[in-house]
A = this chain, B = another copy of it.
Amino acid sequence: MRRTKEQAEQTRCAILVAAEALFLEKGVAHTSLEHIARHAGVTRGAVYWHFENKAHLFHELLSQVRLPPEQLAERLSACAERDPLLALRELCIEAIENLACNPQKQRIFTILLRRCEFTDELREAELRHAAFIAQFIALCEQQFDLPGVRPRLQPGMSPRLAARTLHALIIGLLHDWLRDPTLFDPLSDTAPMIDACFRGLVRDWQQA
């Protein structure tokens, strides 16, 4: 029996939800479309109707949320008023806290970091991810290279190194926290850690 458009959209969502759960539990490669269909209460026919194949399904799953690196890049390009470094600091903290408050983002980012193999099948998703990271680093570097900011860098620290350091710390924090959420509390511990990083990069770093 054919469904109405709403119902169809509903099964599409159910398939995405099932895929998210199964990818997280068993990994992308070890999850078959049959598994996903069963878990969503449909058959593979429905899955193939809504999605071309597993790679496309994966891609649309990722499209549901803006990941932290993407958020950062987007928002950084927006606000340029105030102290650029303070703005950057707050965006970094906010991105991590935001992830900590959004379970779906946690799941999807966990899938990206620990439940999928970046091979040619998922190359598109990988490239997209890499592009956003490059964009983020470039924007960071740009912030550190502003005329009013650059002289504030510690001796021996270039804008590009500062940007790479900051990005590494953020990625490492996300990586560690998603692996073991008991390692630290994102809401209370993120700010001191990010501040420590800035303190090491910039001479006159202090906060209220």
Q: Is the interface of A mostly helix, strand, loop or mixed?
A: helix
Q: How far is the CB of A170 from chain B (nearest CB, A)?
A: 7
Q: Which residues between 174 and 198 of chain A lie within 8 Å of chain B, taking CB atoms?
A: 175-176, 179-180, 183-184, 189, 192-193, 195-198
Picked from B115, B160, B176, B198, the residue with its CB within 8 Å of the CB of A119 is: B115
**Interface band, chain A:** 35 or more
Residue on B with the closest CB to A191?
Answer: B156
Given the interface pairs A115-B118, A172-B170, the reply to whether A165 lies near B29 with Cβ below 8 Å is no
Residues in A lying within 8 Å of B, measured CB to CB: 25-30, 114-121, 130, 133-134, 137, 154, 156-157, 160-162, 164-165, 167-173, 175-176, 179-180, 183-184, 189, 192-193, 195-201
